[in-house]
């Protein structure tokens, strides 16, 4: 994998459904994996930064896992709410580099 | 809670004009980043400052683009002789730690 890839591109779910997204990233020279939530007309909000293989992080109903050996991360949302509607971005950071390499994002719409 | 601020939030300009954007980072952050996001894509890295020193520039930053961070506080991004392809969201981020970047709300540029 040369780029950061996210799937699906978009997702429509019903309120109360649980959902998950995938982020694939280059596993060589890996330093950190970032997840952001970006609501329209607002600043991207940092959700998680993960660095260790097997890392699992949780923030309320949202959690994320990391596999650095195979180069993927999952983001889970339990019991989706309309306010979870946003674009979810993941970004990879290589060792000795400050820049983030972003995927194209997953656009989530939660219907009431 | 003072986050990263950007000004203006929106800019419409005619092709060939020069534009300048400003970013005010979180006050104690010594690192500042500029990214650009075009429709359907994730943010792409443009440049990075540590204090007033510009340490890295992407090949995306053509000769028409210049960024400064005088005195290591706010930063400006200038685009000269704008082209329609410059239309994008320009995002600024700042950080203190090596990997945690906090984003502003962006400046949306439309070149007509």
| Mean pLDDT computed over A91-110 | 93
Return the percent helix, strand and coil in chain B, to nearest 5.
5, 50, 45
Rg of chain B on CA atoms, in Å? 13
Q: Give the residue, A89 or B60, on which the prediction is more confident.
A: A89
Q: How many CA atoms lie within 13 A of A59 on its CB side?
A: 11
Q: pLDDT tens across B58-77, in order?
A: 988 889 999 999 988 999 99
Residue with tokens 């959690």: A63
Say yes or no: B49 contacts chain A, CB-CB below 8 A: no
From chain A, the residues in CB contact with B56 under 8 A are: 98-99
Q: Cβ contact (<8 Å) for B56 and A91?
A: no
Question: What's chain A's average pLDDT?
Answer: 94
Q: Cβ contact (<8 Å) for A89 and B98?
A: no
Q: pLDDT tens across A58-83, in order?
A: 999 999 999 999 999 999 999 999 99
């Amino acid at each position: 994998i040369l780029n950061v890839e996210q799937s699906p591109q978009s997702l429509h779910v019903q309120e109360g459904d649980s959902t998950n997204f995938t982020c694939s990233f280059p596993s060589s020279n890996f330093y950190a994996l970032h997840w952001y939530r970006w609501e329209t007309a607002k600043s991207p909000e940092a959700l998680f930064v993960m660095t260790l293989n097997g890392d699992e992080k949780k923030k309320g109903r949202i959690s994320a896992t990391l596999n650095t050996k195979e180069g993927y991360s999952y983001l889970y949302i339990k019991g989706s709410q309309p306010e979870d509607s946003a674009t979810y971005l993941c970004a990879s950071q290589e060792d000795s580099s400050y820049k983030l390499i972003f995927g194209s994002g997953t656009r989530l719409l939660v219907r009431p | 809670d003072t986050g990263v601020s950007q000004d203006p939030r929106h800019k419409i300009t005619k092709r060939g004009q020069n534009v300048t954007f400003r970013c005010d980072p979180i006050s104690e952050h010594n690192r500042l980043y500029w990214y650009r996001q075009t429709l359907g894509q994730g943010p792409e890295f443009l440049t990075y400052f540590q204090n007033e020193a510009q340490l890295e520039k992407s090949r995306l930053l053509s000769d028409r683009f210049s960024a400064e961070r005088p005195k290591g506080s706010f930063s400006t991004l200038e685009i000269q002789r704008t082209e329609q392809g410059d239309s994008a969201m320009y995002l600024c981020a700042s950080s203190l730690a090596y990997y945690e970047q906090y984003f502003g709300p962006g400046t949306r540029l439309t070149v007509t």
